[in-house]
Every structure is written in C-alpha cells, then in structure tokens.
Structure 1
C-alpha cells in the first residue's frame, strides 16, 4: 500500500514544480532516500504555459512562454540497516521566454534587431548519504554539482554562455514513524557559484568575449506526510529559495537579469489507496506574488496557484508507473517600457504533466 500511495503523492509534486518562482524547475527533492530497499526511478515532466502581454498603447505580445520538458533520474541503494546512498540527476533551473511579436520582438517598440529571448538550461548531479539512528530519526547530507548554459537576447545584446560543474552542499534531518506513515524531512542546500564563459554578439560591434559569475541560490525544503485514516495520507511541502539578489551581470553591459524577491512555495494534498494496485492523490499549491513591476521582461509572471492530480499503478512488487497532471494560474505581472507604457501579463495559465517509472530490486 505504501509504495503505490506514496508514488501518487510524489507525482502531483513533480508536475507542479514546473511553475515555481525564479527559474526553479525541479524542486531539488531528496525523497528517494526514503524509498524501501534498493530502488531506481526515471521521471519526465512537460510544462505548457500560456502567457500573453497586452497594453493600451503597445502591440500585444502573444504567448511569450513556450512549452518545455524536464528529465530526472534517481538511484537509491540500501547499504545496510543504518546507511543508505542516493544518486540523483535533475535539471533544477531553467527559463524559456520568447517574444515573437509585440514591442520586445524584432522591429518592435524597443528597437531590438532580434526577438527578446531567454533560453536557460541546467544539469545537476547530487550524491547523498543517509544515516538511520534506529529510533525514527535520520540525518542526510552530501554534495551537489551544477552546470548551466543558455542564451539571453535583450537590449544588452545576444549573450551565449555556459559553465562547467561547480559544487555545493546538502544537509538535512528527518523523523519517521512507519506505523502511521508519518515522515517529516528538512533539507538545506547551499548556494552554488558558477563561473561562465561566453560571447556577447552586440550590434554593431560583433561578438566579444565575456566571463562572469552567477550564484544560484540556497534553498530549504520541508516535506511532510502522515496517515489520517485507513489507506489515506495527508502530505505537503514548503520550499524556500533565496532568489533575492540573484543576478547576471557583465562588463560593460551591466545587468541582464536581476531578481529581488525570495520565493516560498506551499503544497498540501491528500492521497487515497483505491485497491492493492491503484492509488490517487489531489494537491493544491500556492506561491505568493513578488514585486511589481518585474525587473526584467524575461520574468513575466510572479507567484502562482495550482491544483494537481496524481495516480500510481503498482504493476507488481518491483515495478510501478505513476502519472501526474497540474493546472496552474501564474500570477499577474507587468513590465514598464516607459512612463505610461506598460506591458500587462494578466490572466495567465499553464498545464503540467509528469510520468515516473519506478523499479524496486
């Protein structure tokens, strides 16, 4: 029962992380540490946002947020009754914004000779060890390696850059009481400063070399669950990310990206076992809106509300297949082109889907 029920709750979380604040994508969860025995999982996510900017004095910017995919892989190994090992690959950060029309497109009011764009991708490898004290308490910790790459097109030019892997730490504590399916886990991940190399194709000067540092933020995850009735589980999470002060700056252009709000994302849900094979889950999510106007047109929403559904089918003792679907309402935002000339991004929406295949051995 636990296998199928916990799988369903996990997939509602997986599908909803696509709409978190800043450029957060995966949520950097460590719940694979708490799987029974030896376990491996593969997860695919798809996000399909719809974000349009309108103005009383400027042309419409239609659907500036294209769809994108995210992948992750996890392996958990039970070394002995006290020690567990987990290896995780995910894509924790990303941005996908493209102005194909309106004032920030080629030839628009901003006067750019190209479309405003942000295409940022990342890869992270995390290695964790967990020590179980035998009384319900455990501690976990390890290291995370992160690299990123991307393209930004704005009034500063066209910046293409990438980093090598740089490193940060992860540490946490958890308490479990299996007879009532209780688990509370608190995990801290340090910030990671990455050194980037690239070029700025600024018009009319041509491509010029650029080197700079970007510090990806520290974060805290609180995950919890408990049984409340036969075959029923209440679960949720709180994720805080220190996006305030996150910036990308080059010389001589100055700031390309600057965030000035930390984000806290809340989720709460309930899972129900239907039978020995099937479990379902329902989840609500909320993230408070940040400052308006946005400091960059490459971040055209702020905050979100979401509802998600998840299901897990336990094929046999080893194999499980889970799916999740989320509908989200990203919060309204606006960007000030000039005094009295705003682009208003209102009435946004987004769909997210996730599939996970898990195998226990």
Structure 2
C-alpha cells in the first residue's frame, strides 16, 4: 500500500495568503484520488497569519515515481470597511488587489529507498492599496487626516527548495534539504511624513527537515516538517520629509514554521485528513532606519522630545492555522473532497497594513485521473476576520476572499 499527500498554501492579510491538497491513497488496491482546495488567508500586507502565501508544502517528496506538478492559483480578496467618524464619506472601498501565482514541483527516485524533489513556490507575499478620500500626514496633524489614501505596500518572494528523502523498512521516512529564497518590497505611506521605500531583491539560504510515519493497512500517515527562518539583508532607498533618497540596509528574518500533516482511512474509499501550521511571526520585524527616524521625528514634533520611533511592521503574536477535510472516491476516474479551516484572530487593532484579523474557510475540490495525467479543480471561500483600524479609526468587516486553483500532475 502506498500513500502520498500533496499540500499547497496560497495567500495573503494579513494575508495572507492558501492550501491546495491532493491526496492519493492505495486502499485495498484501489486508488483514492482526493482533491481539496484550502487557503491560508493572504489579502494584504499584514494579517493575523502574517504574509503567508504558499504554506511551504513539501509532501511531493513522500509520493512515488517520476512526477511533475503545476498549480495555478487565483485569489480575489474583498476587504472593505468604514471610517468611524465619516472621514471621506465614511466608505472604504476594496484595499486588496487580486493576485495570482504558479507553483511547480518535481520528484524522481534516486534509488529504491531514496528520492529527490525540487519545489518552486512563493512562500510570502502581500499587496495593499488604499485609494479613497484625501490623506495628509496624520502623525504631524491628526486633525486634518481624512483617510489612508495613498498607503501602498507590496512584498514579493520566490523560493526553490531541493529535498532528499530516505525510506526505511519500517514505514518511516526522513527528508531534508536546502531552500534558496528571494524577497523584495516597496511601500509608500503619506501618513508618516510622506514616507516611501524601495527594497531591492535579496537571496538567502535556509533549510528544511522532516519525518513521516505510515501505517499502510489503514491508509494512515503523519508527517512533520520544519522550515528554518531565513535571514535577509535588503539594500533599500528611503525618502520622507526629513530626507530624500536615503540608502541603508534592511535586515530581517522570515519566520520559522512547523507543518503537521495527517491522514487516515475511515471507510472504504473514504479518507479523513488535515493539517496544522504554526508560524513564529514574532521573528518577523521590518524596521528600516529612515522610517524609524522619521516616525521618531514626527512623534517628537507632535508630543515633545525625545519622541518614539516605530517599526514599519511587526507581529505581537505567532499564528496557528488548522484545516480538516473529508475525501471520497466515486470511481477510478473521479474523486472529491471538502474541507474546513480556521485561524484565530489576534484581537488587536489593525491598520492600513493589516486590514483583517484571522479567518475561517470552506472549500471543495474535484479530481479527474487519467492514465498519466491528473487534473484537479478547487475553489474556496475565506471569511476574513473583522478588525478595527488605528490611528485613523474605522472598521473592516463582512469581507471575503474567493480562491480558485487548477493543478495538473503528470507521471512519466
């Protein structure tokens, strides 16, 4: 009996942000193909789930044979709200643009008990753009600040992970490898002294370690994967009211994360599966030198010396995301699955770079399996968590994200 699990995360928020899961289980010599689309919210630059997008899935290494998988994901977030005191007419239109990305994964056997996998994904990403109303420098004169208009931020990333696995004779597999990750970012914030930053792309190395145990007679597998933090030093150019085109280096870590994936057969042609992802977002701190100096200067001008500087983005809490699904095979070609997931809200005030807080999600997917190729279609609705805004008071509420995905797998 052979088991294999494939999981992909998509997303943005905060946010935010996206899982695609393909599970193939040989039970009683019949193949169960179970497709499910699952998403970790990613609809802005900062959410309860940080800037997670792909979910850093690695389970292709636990499959068999020569495989190539391509996953295309489209994300349509809707994040709107209202200013508390009627600024700009009160209404906040959608601040999170649509986005899409494609993940690639390849696997091949090296020997009878060793395999190689190469995975290319977008582990982190964010995009927010506020366009309503009229904005001025809130920190300099909060009385005339009318909206967050002009606040924009975008984070892009790419990662190539190379893994090698070793299968022991007792249904125990260990795997690990290196990850080359690149990150770039841009942001403008007229509310903080007309601040802007452009951060050039930087590439750094991290590592991945994992282990899986299987019990084939009940189609059971539990796999735990650790992703190390990756340290980056980006060359940046910053500008604000206290100086233009100020060069510096922005140093930060993308956080370490733990993925626990599990599955088990509960009846003939029926599979229960799920995942738990924990990310140490407290390790992620963006504090550019010129932004810190600008906010310190503005605070001193408003409240008196010496003033207090701020970070561009930080997280006060780590996050844990849960997902549970049920899959069913109908015949040799068709199978389907449903899933539910959740991530608790932090319960703190958000802002223009964090317009949601936590989420719940429901999804459905269907897979068609041919002799060589497998095609999966999935859709998921994410209910974005409500959040209050600061420093300009408002509320973002009743928002959703629609995620669609197509995955093509080919055996050769």
Task: Answer yes or no: same fold by TM over 0.5.
Answer: yes
- 2:37 pairs, out of 6, 12, 22, with 12
Aligned match of 1:167: 205
Distance 2:178 2:35 in 1: 23
The 8 Å contact of residues 5 and 273 in structure 1, kept in 2 or not, is answered as no
- 1:159 Cα offset (Å): 0.8
Distance 2:367 2:197 in 1: 43
1:169-188 maps to which residues of 2 (within 5 A)?
Answer: 169-188=207-226
Q: Could you say what secondary structure the match of 1:253 adopts?
A: helix
Give the total of aligned pairs: 355
Aligned match of 1:123: 158
Aligned match of 1:40: 68
- Deviation string 1:205-249 (CA, Å, 9 cap, x unpaired) is 432213111110000000001111111111100000001242111
Q: Which moved more, 1:248-257 or 1:82-91?
A: 248-257
Aligned match of 2:329: 273
Q: Could you say what secondary structure the match of 1:252 adopts?
A: helix
Q: Which moved more, 1:177-186 or 1:342-351?
A: 177-186
Distance 1:205 1:9 in 2: 56
Aligned match of 2:102: 71
TM-score by length of 2: 0.81
- 1:80 Cα offset (Å): 1.5
- Deviation string 1:89-140 (CA, Å, 9 cap, x unpaired) is 0001001111011466899954799710111110001011111002111111
Aligned match of 1:325: 379
Distance 2:145 2:110 in 1: 59
Q: Which moved more, 1:125-134 or 1:170-179?
A: 170-179
Aligned match of 1:62: 93
The 8 Å contact of residues 8 and 323 in structure 1, kept in 2 or not, is answered as no
Q: Could you say what secondary structure the match of 2:312 adopts?
A: strand
Q: Could you say what secondary structure the match of 1:32 adopts?
A: helix
Q: Could you say what secondary structure the match of 2:287 adopts?
A: strand
- 1:297 Cα offset (Å): 2.1
Distance 2:278 2:151 in 1: 29
Seen in structure 2, the aligned counterparts of structure 1 residues 245 and 35 have a Cα distance that, compared at 3 Å, is closer
Distance 1:114 1:103 in 2: 6
- 1:55 Cα offset (Å): 2.2
TM-score by length of 1: 0.92
Distance 1:44 1:106 in 2: 40
Q: Which runs of 5+ in 1 are unaligned?
A: none
Matched, 1:288 2:288: no
Aligned match of 1:91: 122
The 8 Å contact of residues 17 and 26 in structure 1, kept in 2 or not, is answered as no
Aligned match of 2:52: 24
Distance 1:266 1:113 in 2: 33
Q: Could you say what secondary structure the match of 2:290 adopts?
A: coil
The 8 Å contact of residues 128 and 141 in structure 1, kept in 2 or not, is answered as yes
Q: Which moved more, 1:107-116 or 1:262-271?
A: 107-116
Whichever of the two has the greater Rg, that structure is 2
The 8 Å contact of residues 225 and 259 in structure 2, kept in 1 or not, is answered as yes
Q: Could you say what secondary structure the match of 2:347 adopts?
A: coil
RMSD in angstroms over aligned alpha carbons?
A: 2.4
Distance 1:326 1:101 in 2: 29
1:182-197 maps to which residues of 2 (within 5 A)?
Answer: 182-197=220-235
Seen in structure 2, the aligned counterparts of structure 1 residues 184 and 29 have a Cα distance that, compared at 3 Å, is same
Distance 1:209 1:306 in 2: 42
- 2:176 pairs, out of 134, 141, 153, with 141
- 1:252 Cα offset (Å): 3.1
Matched, 1:211 2:249: yes
- 1:16 Cα offset (Å): 4.8
Seen in structure 2, the aligned counterparts of structure 1 residues 151 and 111 have a Cα distance that, compared at 3 Å, is farther
Distance 1:104 1:220 in 2: 41
Q: Could you say what secondary structure the match of 2:156 adopts?
A: strand
Aligned match of 1:298: 353
- 1:201 Cα offset (Å): 3.2
Aligned match of 2:397: 346
Distance 1:105 1:347 in 2: 28
- 1:269 Cα offset (Å): 0.4
Seen in structure 2, the aligned counterparts of structure 1 residues 81 and 104 have a Cα distance that, compared at 3 Å, is farther
Seen in structure 2, the aligned counterparts of structure 1 residues 227 and 113 have a Cα distance that, compared at 3 Å, is closer
Aligned match of 2:290: 252
